[in-house]
Amino acid sequence: MFLPESDRDYLTAKGIQFEQKTIGRLNGLLIKNWKLPEGKYDHACSDLLILVPPGYPDVHPDMWYFDPPILLLPNNTNAIATDGKYSFDGKVWQRWSRHLAPGEWRSSIDGIHTFLQKVNIALETTK
């Protein structure tokens, strides 16, 4: 297991179904049925992949991925910077190219809970 106990405890306490999967040198946190903002996307939920870098939690994750891919309603279009693809665990994931600003990640304070907040904010505000 590559996630710290505090992250595992957080996910479990929130009732989030997750799996930690290591493939080669990549650590992937797979979250099942991530709830999407109601009425904004063509799916109500999608599986979410977060690649957890070596050195985490001192080093922050970067970007995230969905399977199935999600499209903006009402026209079923890709959100900006979401047309990339990424293969992991036998699936092709939709890449959401979003990055933290310098200083936005606080070592020893931030963890998966703060990264998931960033995912949710991006999902809510993306046009």
Name every residue whose Cβ is closer than 8 Å to that of residue 82 and which is 6 or more positions away in sequence: 69, 70, 94, 95, 96, 97
Domain ranges in the chain are 5-125
- Confidence category of residue 5, pLDDT binned at 50, 70, 90: very high
At 32, the pLDDT band (50, 70, 90 cuts) reads very high
Give the model's confidence band at 127: pLDDT under 50 very low, under 70 low, under 90 confident, else very high. Answer: confident
pLDDT value, residue 1: 85
pTM score of the predicted model = 0.95
- Per the prediction, the chain carries an average pLDDT of 96
pLDDT digits (tens, 9 = 90+) for 87-107: 999 999 999 999 988 889 998
Half-sphere exposure of 17 (CA within 13 A, CB side): 7
Tokens of 120: 């949710």
* 46-80 pLDDT, tens digit each: 999 999 999 999 999 999 999 999 999 999 999 99
